[in-house]
Homo-oligomer: A and B are copies of this chain.
Amino acid sequence: MSLLNDLINLDLSETPEKTIVEYIWIGGSGMDLRSKARTLPGPVTDPSQLPKWNYDGSSTGQAPGEDSEVILYPQAIFPDPFRRGNHILVMCDTYTPAGEPIPTNKRYNAAKTFSHPDVVDEEPWYGIEQEYTLLQKDVKWPLGWPVGGFPGPQGPYYCAIGADKAFGREIVDAHYKACLYAGINISGINGEVMPGQWEYQVGPSVGISAGDQVWVSRYILERIAEIAGVVVSFDPKPIPGDWNGAGAHTNYSTKSMREEGGFEVIKAAIDKLGLKHKEHIAAYGEGNERRLTGRHETANIDTFLWGVANRGASIRVGRDTEKAGKGYFEDRRPASNMDPYAVTSMIAETTILWKP
């Protein structure tokens, strides 16, 4: 197919300076990513230079057929790793023609939380560990697993190498470089405990950009899996039984936690989170009860437990944070299919704004 690749990789910089802009948004399920492209006459460096656009919301479960226009507001730009050159991806959120955020638009309220002066002062940082599972395309069974059967039990696969232990590395490595190219703050990758499952981390990102970067990194991942003929799943417990689930552990710190005496601030924040455990859990991803069982390095969904270096806890504090007396903590409760706008803003709200 070399002629097709020649065309896909055409270097358009010789021809008039047009930019292709891929507008990305979240569809009606809250997890389905959608995108479409348009041509703009010149280079673009700032979201404010981009026009609003619209799409057919009746085709994504977000508007009725008789009044189907949903408006896209461009929010964050990233260089396009697929088209390269000057072309860009833009993360958008969604509004009615009257200018109201539609119900599935979680970014709007998150942005309000993050622009609250108390929250701005605390400069909240997020590091999100996104786990996901690769599935064979037509059978929806994990990549590398024998069809109609199971691989050997967990043990050999975490951070492993070898054709019998690591399935799909080319997707993971392509994603790593593509995200770096796109300017996403991807800080690392690793093979996970369940074979065919992988993780990448985005962060540290400040405030609303954590959500933007995680969503665009998910977009890039699913585009790459599409090229590879593989399906990506964000289900929190893709295979029942003695197989790990998939989470989106959210590491968090504020200015106060990062300074001298931060460890006490961390403990106080964790206490507040403990008082709102049920509310957080309700927003931490559909199907999480299948994952948070108390086994497979999770804490039971009804239990709120924190500990240093404890991977069976709801919240884990690293040994180095304890030792330094300051740093960050890890909320291990969010599922892989959580909405990062909802989770990041809720953590900020509970720990910074809420007074019990």
Write the residues of chain A forming the contact surface with B, with a CB cutoff of 8 angstroms. Answer: 1-10, 12, 15-16, 18, 20, 27, 32-39, 54-56, 58-61, 65-69, 79, 81-83, 97, 137-138, 146, 155-156, 158-166, 169-171, 173-178, 180-181, 183, 186-191, 193, 219, 222-232, 297, 307, 309-312, 318-320, 323
| Cβ contact within 8 Å between B12 and A3 | no
A263 vs chain B, min Cβ distance (A): 16
A330 vs chain B, min Cβ distance (A): 12
- Return the contact of A5 from the options B2, B12, B159, B223 (Cβ within 8 A): B2
A55 to B307, CA, bound (A): 17
* Nearest-CB residue, chain B, relative to A311: B68
A226 to B169, CA, bound (A): 9
A188-B36, A219-B161 given; A7·B224 CB < 8 A: yes
- Return the contact of A227 from the options B4, B27, B155 (Cβ within 8 A): B4
A229 to B144, CA, bound (A): 11
A32-B156, A81-B7, A193-B59 given; A231·B162 CB < 8 A: yes
A sample of 26 cross-chain residue pairs with beta-carbon separation below 8 angstroms, ordered by A number, consists of: A3-B5, A3-B82, A4-B171, A4-B227, A7-B81, A8-B173, A12-B180, A12-B181, A20-B176, A20-B180, A34-B159, A35-B159, A37-B176, A38-B188, A39-B188, A59-B158, A65-B297, A66-B307, A69-B318, A161-B222, A162-B225, A163-B225, A163-B226, A163-B230, A164-B231, A165-B226
Taking CB atoms, residues of chain B closer than 8 Å to A174 are 4, 7-8
* Nearest 3 interchain pairs by C-beta: A36-B190, A7-B174, A34-B159
A311 vs chain B, min Cβ distance (A): 5
Taking CB atoms, residues of chain B closer than 8 Å to A230 are 163
Taking CB atoms, residues of chain B closer than 8 Å to A68 are 309-311
A4-B224, A181-B12 given; A163·B231 CB < 8 A: yes
- Return the contact of A36 from the options B8, B159, B224 (Cβ within 8 A): B159
A121 to B4, CA, bound (A): 42
Taking CB atoms, residues of chain B closer than 8 Å to A190 are 36-37
- Return the contact of A8 from the options B170, B222, B297 (Cβ within 8 A): B170
Known A36-B188, A37-B176, A161-B222; further 20 A-B contacts with Cβ < 8 A: A3-B227, A4-B170, A4-B171, A4-B224, A8-B177, A15-B181, A16-B180, A32-B160, A35-B161, A38-B188, A39-B186, A59-B158, A61-B155, A65-B311, A97-B319, A97-B320, A137-B163, A162-B226, A163-B225, A165-B226
